Amino acid sequence: MPKRLPKKQYEAYYKAVAARDGKECHLCGKTPDQLVHPLEIDHVDENKNNWDIDNLRFLCKSDNTAKGNRNRAARRRRAAESLATGQVGPGANNIYARAHPATRSLKELAEYSKGKPAMKANFLMEPKFRDFVLHHIGSFGPTPPEELELAGAEYCGSQPRTARNYLAKMTSSTGPLRVVEGEDGFPVVVKRDD
C-alpha cells in the first residue's frame, strides 16, 4: 500500500518537477491557469512509492484519470487472461488454491445436488467470482470495489447486482477481504490481513 506523502514533501517534489519541466501537463501541455484542478504528480513507472525525480512528471487531472483507467483495464485483462490460462501470478498461489472450486465443502455440494436452478447458477458463479477477485487482488493489489464488481460480473457471467452481493459477502467481517480508504481517498478492497 503506497504511503501518502506529507504535504511539505509533496510540495518539494512539486517544485522540483516544476523547475525541471515547467508547470504544464506532460501530455496535453495545459498550464494551471487553463485547468480547473491543480496539476498532479504522476509516477511514470506506476510505482506510487517511487519518488525518484526521474520517475515524476506533471499530468492534468483528466489525463491522469485517463491513464489510471487504461491501467486498470489492462490489469483486468491480464488477470482474466492469466486466470483463464491457469497461470497465476507470484504470491497468488495460496489464495487461488484456497478459493478454488475443488475446495468447495461437501455441505455445499449436497445443497447443490437438490437445489433450484438459481442456486445452481450461484453455485457455479460465486466460486468463479471469488477466484477472480482473490486472484486479482493477490496479483495487482488494492482495487476499487466497483472495478471488482464489474470485471468479476463479466468474468463469471453474473449480473452486476449479484456480483455486488458476492463481494459484500467477501468483505463482511468474516470474509477474506476488507474495504479501506485508498490513497486517493476512494475505497479500495484489500486482503483482510494486509
**What count of other Cβ atoms lies within 10 Å of the Cβ of residue 135?**
22
For residue 158, the minimal CB distance to Zn ion (Å) is 37
Q: How many residues bind Zn ion (CB under 5 A)?
A: 5
- DSSP assigned state of 59: E
For residue 61, the minimal CB distance to Zn ion (Å) is 8
- DSSP assigned state of 24: S
Which grid cell is 136?
486479482
Binding range to Zn ion, per CB under 5 A, among 12-20, 41-49, 58-66, 91-99: 58-66
CA distance 72 to 61: 16
By CB under 5 A, is residue 133 in contact with Zn ion?
A: no
By CB under 5 A, is residue 190 in contact with Zn ion?
A: no
For residue 4, the minimal CB distance to Zn ion (Å) is 23
Helices (H) and strands (E) in the chain, counts: 7, 4
Q: State which residue, 62 or 82, has the beta carbon closest to Zn ion.
A: 62
Q: State which residue, 59 or 153, has the beta carbon closest to Zn ion.
A: 59
By CB under 5 A, is residue 60 in contact with Zn ion?
A: yes
Q: Which residues pair with 56 in a beta bridge?
A: 43
- Residue 134 has phi, psi (to 5 degrees) of -65, -40
Helix extents (H) in 23-179? 61-84, 93-99, 106-113, 117-140, 145-156, 160-170
For residue 74, the minimal CB distance to Zn ion (Å) is 20
In the range 17-46, which residues lie near Zn ion by CB under 5 A?
25, 27-28
For residue 11, the minimal CB distance to Zn ion (Å) is 21
Residues making contact with Zn ion (CB under 5 A): 25, 27-28, 60, 63
